[in-house]
Amino acid sequence: MSFGEKDNKSYRDTKSRMANLELLRCVAMMMVVVLHYLGKGNLLADLTGENVEAFGIAAWGLEAFCIVAVNLYMLISGYFLCESSFKPGRLLRLLLQVWTYSVAVGLLAAAAGLVPAEEFTTYYLLQLIFPVAMGHYWFMTAYVFLYLLLPLVSVAVRRMTKSQLQMALWLLLIAFCLMKSVLPVRLETDAKGYDCLWYLCVFLTAAYIRKYGLPFIQKRGRGLMLYVVSVLFIFGGTMCLHFVYVKTGSLGLMIKVFIEYNHVFVFLAAVGLFAAFLRIRIEGKAAKVICALSKYTLGVYLLHENIGVRYVWQKWLGAERISNVGELILWSLIAVTAVFAAGILAEWVRSLLTKCLHKVLMHLSLYKSLMVRIERADMLFADGQRNK
């Protein structure tokens, strides 16, 4: 029995949701908020400057601990999706969810004066109306494109042997992770992990973990150790490149390479923390609460990263008033709590309104016919997977 199956089979609930990974989903989204609070709140010290004080070092340390967030989110998605069938209905619901936040929050922000008049342009409106195609939310663009590939990827994963999957995964990681991590130059093909190709690598990693496990971190504590050690290398490497640049003026283009999603240490840190959470057992009321909250976490991202507010909310939550390490930690905790709670509430309201609207529209024959067609499309792919 593989690592994933051995440690989680006994507490996988009837909805195929594992409370330990749903908790990790919540933690990952909180990390995303921290990253956006630090970066877009101008709290990260300039690494090209000569003097990086304690406050700046602490901010980069916090960045290093949270930079695994996006990879974690994709590892979780890949872990579940690799065993499920492609569903056009799920894709449509996701697109509608993204579009609702994009248009509603973007227009409300403009109406409230949060968007300067000179920025309320045709391009701004196009970003609201076509959020995926226009890259409004870069992660959702990458995720949607990857989900469109799911019918092909999932079939390939199921048919490949362990050795074939290992080889394919190694080749992808060498091309999109290892090369950029060891070469002291910028590669033209390196998108820094902001693309579908990198998340295909992460998706396949999650699929491999689910099917075969990772023996070298199977023992208790090794996953957490891998995460901590990798984070220390991320932070240490970043500080070393800062020192080299200040002393020599070289490697300026590489100064933030350790803090990029597809760097090998960021990847290893994410895998380590993912493996650590796979071993956690959560049962009873705690598991129910976690699973109830986790299904709304995407709303946290879609709310606070909307282009109408993505550079504004940090000021509301004290980013401009922070002057020391203690205040950095305190205000970061306040920001995470406030943004996470607001996003969960917003998504709960949106979900409730969507369900109510769906019930009303089901009385219309045209809408009902559309739902039937979508269900048939879902069954078409589900039947295809069963036939494999």
In DSSP terms, 12 is beta-bridged to 18
Which residue, 344, 337, 303, 299, is CA-closest to 318? 337
- Asked if 24 and 76 count as a contact pair (C-beta separation under 8 A), the reply is yes
The pLDDT assigned to 49 comes to 86
- What phi and psi, each to the nearest 5 degrees, are found at residue 12? -85, 125
For 181-198, the three-class secondary structure string (H helix, E strand, C coil) is: HHCCCCCCCCCCCCCHHH
The pLDDT assigned to 11 comes to 36
CA distance 184 to 179: 10
Token pair belonging to 118? 């000179």
CA distance 151 to 385: 9
Question: pLDDT 10s per residue in the chain (388 long)?
Answer: 333 444 444 334 434 468 999 999 999 999 999 999 999 999 999 999 888 788 889 999 999 999 999 999 999 999 998 888 889 999 999 999 999 999 999 999 999 999 999 999 999 999 999 999 999 999 999 999 999 999 899 889 989 999 999 999 999 999 999 999 999 999 999 999 999 999 999 999 999 999 998 888 878 889 999 999 999 999 999 999 999 999 999 988 999 999 999 999 999 999 999 999 998 999 899 999 999 999 999 999 999 999 999 999 999 999 999 989 999 999 999 999 999 999 999 999 999 999 999 999 999 999 999 999 999 998 888 755 555 5
What is the tens place of the pLDDT at every residue in 175-218? Answer: 999 999 999 999 999 999 999 999 999 999 999 999 998 888 87
What is the tens place of the pLDDT at every residue in 249-297? Answer: 998 899 999 999 999 999 999 999 999 999 899 989 999 999 999 999 9
Which residue, 121, 100, 88, 9, is CA-closest to 352? 100
- Asked if 55 and 323 count as a contact pair (C-beta separation under 8 A), the reply is yes
CA distance 148 to 153: 9
CA distance 147 to 149: 5
The pLDDT assigned to 62 comes to 97
CB-based burial, 67-85: b 16+ in 10 Å, e otherwise: bbbbbbbbbbbbbebbeeb
* Number of domains the chain contains: 1
Residue 50: domain span: 3-387
pTM assigned to the model: 0.91
- What phi and psi, each to the nearest 5 degrees, are found at residue 233? -70, -40
Counting every residue written for the chain, the total comes to: 388
